[in-house]
Amino acid sequence: MKNTTFLLIMKFIAMALGLVVCGAILAVAGGFVGGRIAGENNFGALGLAILGIVAGYCLGNILGMFLIKKFINPRGSILLGILGSVVGVVITVTVGIILAPDINLFFWIALIGIPVLCLAGFYVKK
């Protein structure tokens, strides 16, 4: 394996880990903000907290993409990565509303789908 192939693989792994870590940090913050909007003693705060988690995870993926692009400079398109992340959120919320799956399935779809579509959008050839 060539040295350049190894570097490309390491940049991809760093990009994937950066998306997940930044997404997790902002997902926690989004959950707190979403839960505080409706108040502490309101059952609607649970739904807003869940939507805050998904929105925070999406924004964290976008922030992670910017940070990784700035520090290790992988080849890819930021705009298509943002589009992929937004499409991941739309798919997650659509599955959550229309199919009404178990909440665990909803979070697994968000946890896997958003970064995968963000990475796919980032690395797609123009």
pLDDT tens string, the chain, 126 residues long: the values are: 567 888 888 888 989 999 999 999 999 998 888 878 766 666 667 778 888 888 899 999 999 999 988 888 888 889 999 999 999 888 888 887 787 767 777 788 888 888 999 999 998 875
- For the stretch 10-16, contacts whose Cβ atoms lie closer than 8 Å and that sit 24 or more positions apart, written own/partner, are 11/72, 11/74, 12/74, 12/119, 12/123, 14/68, 14/72, 14/74, 15/65, 15/68, 15/72, 15/74, 15/119, 15/122, 16/115, 16/119
Helix (H, G, I), strand (E, B) or coil at 43: coil
Domain total of the chain: 1
pLDDT of the residue at 79: 92
Write the DSSP assignment of 55-99 as a string of letters.
HHHHHHHHHHHHHHHHHT--S--HHHHHHHHHHHHHHHHHIIIII
| Domain region containing 38 | 3-123
pLDDT of the residue at 44: 65
Which amino acid belongs to residue 103? I
